[in-house]
């Protein structure tokens, strides 16, 4: 029977036990201690960093991350949004404006107000007559009078047409239109006025002539005047008892009845 303690396997086992005992009995060198401590520190830091990363991920995922502030720095204030005013104005209620009309004077109830823009006077709504004749230094004059015989106002502006007729009805002269003559007329340098005639109102134009002919020829007296109101075509024949026979003139229409003015 063989001895188990003399086998090669037994010898190897004894050698390993001897090395282990020697290692335990031999103190560890300072370098080995520092190396082992450094490895533990590295492993601990690696573990701590992994833990921090995991915690940070959980915080971000949970929506609970909050910024940190220093004690002496106040947190930023986010201004509230300002709503711009509406471009549509708010309607306002106003009381209606009431204008009190003054009472009508006694006796004017239903009276027709004056015409704002009177039309022109025509032969149809005028009564045409001759005024009193005048004479001085060989000159003769008479006023042609226009009276508004209508029911509304009308206006006259400018010169009437005037022709002198002989006893046989023939036309002897056409009146020259001049602003002013020897015996009167409109103001010097003035433009012919516009005369508004209310019902019953009167205006006139002065007609002048001479009692002789400038060339010394025979004088055929004017017996009638053919008068046409300004801006009209219908004429009126008026008898003129005068010895006038030359230099027939007519002046513009003026308010009232004109005559000799010096």
Its pTM stands at 0.54
Confidence of residue 17 (pLDDT cuts 50, 70, 90): confident
Per-residue model confidence (pLDDT) at position 8? 73
Task: Identify whether the C-beta of residue 136 lies closer than 8 Å to the C-beta of residue 130.
Answer: no
Q: Give the DSSP per-residue string, the chain.
A: ---GGGSHHHHHHHHHHHHHHHHHHSPPPHHHHHHHHHHHHHHHHHHHHHHHHHHHHHHHHHT-------TTSPPP-PPPPPPPPPSSPPP---PPP--PPPPPPTT-TTPPPPPSS-EE--GGGEEEEE---EEETTEEEEEEEEEE-SSS-EEEES--EEEEE-TTS-EEEE-EE-SB-SS-BSPTTPPPPEEEE-TT-EEEEEEEEESS-TT--------EEEEE-TT----EEEE------EEEEE---EES------
Tens digits of residue pLDDT in 212-251: 887 777 888 999 999 999 999 999 999 998 889 889 999 9
Q: Rounded mean pLDDT of the chain?
A: 75
119-255: CATH topology is: Immunoglobulin-like (2.60.40)
**So where are the chain's domains?**
119-255
Tens digits of residue pLDDT in 142-190: 999 999 999 999 999 999 999 999 988 899 999 999 998 888 877 777 7
């Amino acid at each position: 029977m063989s001895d188990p303690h003399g086998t090669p396997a037994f010898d190897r086992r004894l050698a390993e036990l001897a090395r282990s005992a020697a290692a335990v009995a031999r103190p560890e060198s300072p370098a080995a201690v520092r190396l082992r401590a450094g490895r533990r520190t590295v492993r601990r830091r690696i573990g701590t960093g992994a833990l921090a990363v995991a915690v940070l991920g959980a915080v971000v995922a949970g929506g609970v991350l909050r910024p940190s502030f220093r004690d002496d720095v106040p947190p930023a204030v986010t201004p509230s949004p300002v709503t711009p005013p509406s471009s549509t104005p708010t309607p306002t209620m106003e009381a209606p404006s009431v204008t009190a009309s003054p009472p009508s004077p006694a006796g004017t109830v239903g009276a027709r107000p004056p015409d704002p823009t009177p039309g022109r006077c025509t032969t149809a709504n005028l009564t045409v007559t001759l005024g009193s004749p005048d004479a001085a230094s060989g000159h003769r004059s008479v006023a042609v009078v226009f009276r508004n015989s209508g029911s509304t106002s009308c206006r006259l502006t400018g010169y009437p047409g005037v022709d002198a007729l002989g006893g046989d009805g023939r036309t002897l002269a056409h009146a020259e239109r001049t602003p002013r003559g020897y015996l009167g007329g409109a103001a010097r340098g003035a433009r012919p006025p516009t005369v508004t005639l209310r019902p019953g109102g009167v205006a006139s134009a002065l007609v002048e002539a001479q009692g002789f002919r400038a060339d010394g020829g025979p004088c055929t007296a004017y017996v009638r005047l053919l008068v046409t109101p300004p801006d009209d075509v219908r004429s009126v024949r008026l008898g003129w008892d005068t010895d006038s026979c030359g230099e027939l003139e007519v002046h513009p229409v003026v308010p009232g009845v004109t005559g000799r003015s010096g």
